[in-house]
Structure formats: structure tokens, C-alpha cells
Structure 1
Amino acid sequence: MELHHEFTVPLPVDDAWQALLDIEGVAPCLPGAVVEDYDGTTVTGSVKVKVGPVTVTYRGTAVFEEQDASAHRMVLVASGRETRGQGTARATVTGTLSEHDDGGTAVSVHTELTVTGRPAQFGRGVLAEVGDRLASQFAACLADRLTTLPEPTAEEPAALTDEQPQPLDLLRTAGVPVAKRAALAVAALAALAYAARRLLRRGRKGRTCQHR
């Protein structure tokens, strides 16, 4: 599926470009994301996604295939696999920055996303709405961090923390109406599975009676 999002940050284009390339700095604005290593090109880490009562953890890498500072354009290819399952996720993210009328920076993000496994059950509509809300939350978080956090100095380095972030809750992020639709879909699937099991049991009992 293809998703497109736009937001603004209160920084000139060149400053916003450098800020968005600071993966460790922007990671706290990405729900469920943990950055384990970053060498300037490749990011290694994990993302936790909560689907109802189930939490899914994807581990993988993201590679900057393009970083054009003059055009303020970046292409990031990310792929991951469930740590306890067969589900996969792959995304090609193209971000373009341009000057905004208010002196800030307009950020345009185009994502080509492929998801298999449990999160895929919600379909494009729910995932698109989740993406919209996450883009808004990310923009607000990033703007707040860029305008309120002081720059670390040699005497006072930025503090590190081992605290694990909360997983990305798809149902909560999607909002109540979408969550209800998703819950109904899950309930319908559960009901179908239950009915199928009962029919299978009846079939087995029928065959047992015939043998008698």
C-alpha cells in the first residue's frame, strides 16, 4: 500500500534536514521504536506494535539509500521480521523538505508499505488512518523537541536511558470509530473460527456414531 503524509517543523530547511538525519534524536518521537545502532547509513533496531491484547515485535534494519543534501531529499528502505512469528514488514520511505511560507520547513513523506502477519488484518483503511495520526503526533513531538531541548555540550552530554518505550497501539492510535470497526472484524473472525471448530467436532462425532 502507498501512504502520503505532510507536516511542518519550525526550523529553516537546512536545520530541519540535519535534525531529521539525527536518528537517535528523533527516535523518541516514533512510538514503539528502539534504535540499537546507527553508523550514519544503516539503522539497526526494533519496533513493538500492539494489536488488541497481542504485542508484536519487529526486528530489522533501515538503510538510507539516498541522502541528497542539496535537494533535501532522502530515501530510507526498512525491513523487519517478527521475533515470535512469521510476519514481516517492509517500507520504502521517501522524504522531501522544502521552505514553508512561515519560515519553517514543509516535510513531505511518501511510504510504500508491505505488512504481513497480525497487523495486516486491519487492511489499508485502518493502517492509513494510523499513519495519519502518527504523522501528526511525530510532527508535534519533533517540533517540541527541537524548540525546547537544549543542545548537549562536552561538559554536559545528553543523558542516556535504558527505559523501554511503550509499544505502538494500533487500536488506540486509530481512534474509537476505527477501533470499533477493527474489533468487530476480529470478533467476526473469532466467531467464524468457533463455528468452524463446532462443525468439525460434529462431523467427527457423526463419523464415530456411524462406525458404531
Structure 2
Amino acid sequence: MDRARAHRARLVKLEHTALVRAPRTRVWKLVTDVPAAARCVPGVAAVTPSGTGKYKGSLLVQLGPVRLVLDGDVALTATDEAAGKASVRADAKDSRLGGTVRATMDLTLVDKGEDTELRITSDVQIAGRIGEFGQPVIQRKADQLMTQFAECLARTLA
């Protein structure tokens, strides 16, 4: 693959929905507490505060045959508890493979009686060699991570 193509950014839109067996107020409190929510993201190695609403972190991800170590910044950029909406921005880099990931995630919590529907819409920009992976590979990994995240939220809130 030529250099120009290898470094072109790939834009991916991901949408996930999961039912969390807990009331919306409890789910809200957990998902807007970035260090606590990060404990439910498979592969998160560390999250440390770096300012108001900002954090530094590391994420280890196996994507196809390659293990990525993404180091970067996460920020809770907007919250509206009454509407059950929050936005998160993440910027990370894998130094070994030479690629970056930028994501904006919009979370919406929908009251479903005693349960909560969690909707996450993500706009992800992947550049460098990481971007060489096809969307189906990225989609499968994102689906797997989302399922594990929702299961962990449910266990944490049980």
C-alpha cells in the first residue's frame, strides 16, 4: 500500500444501543463519571485527571492481528442530565503502529421503566496505519466493546 493511502483518514460512524437493567439516574451518574465508566471499557489500562472534565488514558485493543496501545485524552464536553444526554471527545495515538484515533461520542439515556436504554452514536476518524483496517473489522470490534461495556455497567449497578 502506498504512503499516501496509508495515511489517509478513514471516517467511521458507529451506532450502538444497549439495555442496562438500572434506573436512568443511576446509569447517568456512572456514565458521566469518566474514571468509573472507564473501568467498564475493556482494555482501559489507566485514566488520570488532567483538568476539569479532562483525563489522560491508555487503551489496549486487539484489532485483527495487531495489538494497539492508544494513549490520549478524553473529555466530557457536554452534559444535560434532564435530557439524559452527554458528549465525550477522545483523541489518541498509537506510537508503535503510527496512527491516530479521534472520536466524538454522543450518549443518550432513555427511561424504560426500571431499566435504561443507552444509545451511543460515535463519529470516529482513524488515520495512519490503523486506518488500513476495513470498516467491518472496526465495526465488529466496536460491537464487541460496546456489548462488554453495557454488561459491565449492568454488573456495576446491580
Class of the TM-score when normalised by the shorter of the 2 chains: 0.7 to 0.9
The Cα shift of 1:25 comes to: 2.1
The 2-side partners of 1:85 and 1:122 are apart by: 12
Pairs within 5 Å for 1:99-178: 99-101=111-113, 103-147=114-158
Between the aligned residues of both structures, percent identity stands at 29
Bigger RCO of structures 1 and 2 (CA < 8 A, at least 6 apart) = 2
Q: Conserved in 2, the CA contact under 8 Å of 1:13 and 1:104?
A: yes
Between Structure 1 and Structure 2, whose CA radius of gyration is higher? 1
Give the match for residue 106 of structure 2: 94
Equivalent position amino acid for 1:114 in 2: Q
Larger strand fraction of residues? 2
Choose the corresponding residue for 1:47, options 53, 59, 62. Answer: 59
**1:76 and 2:88 aligned:** yes
SS in 2 for 1:18: helix
The Cα shift of 1:85 comes to: 4.0
**1:14 and 2:14 aligned:** no
Pairs within 5 Å for 1:188-207: none
Equivalent position amino acid for 2:83 in 1: A
1:136-161 Cα distance to aligned partner (Å, 9 max, x none) = 121112101211xxxxxxxxxxxxxx
Comparing 31-40 with 57-66, which one deviates more in the overlay?
Answer: 31-40
* Residues 130 and 50 (structure 1), Cα distance of their counterparts in 2 relative to 1, 3 Å cut: closer
* Residues 116 and 68 (structure 1), Cα distance of their counterparts in 2 relative to 1, 3 Å cut: same
* Residues 40 and 144 (structure 1), Cα distance of their counterparts in 2 relative to 1, 3 Å cut: farther
Give the match for residue 67 of structure 1: 79
Q: Conserved in 1, the CA contact under 8 Å of 2:38 and 2:47?
A: no
1:41-96 Cα distance to aligned partner (Å, 9 max, x none) = 11211112234554321111011110111111001111011133420000000000
Give the match for residue 190 of structure 1: none
Q: Conserved in 1, the CA contact under 8 Å of 2:100 and 2:130?
A: no
SS in 2 for 1:128: helix
Larger helix fraction of residues? 1
The Cα shift of 1:29 comes to: 2.0
Question: Which contiguous aligned blocks of 4+ residues in structure 1 show a shift greater than 3 angstroms?
Answer: 51-54
Q: Conserved in 2, the CA contact under 8 Å of 1:51 and 1:118?
A: no
1:6-47 Cα distance to aligned partner (Å, 9 max, x none) = 001121111110011222222232121133313551121111
The 1-side partners of 2:52 and 2:27 are apart by: 17
Pairs within 5 Å for 1:181-192: none
* Residues 105 and 31 (structure 1), Cα distance of their counterparts in 2 relative to 1, 3 Å cut: same
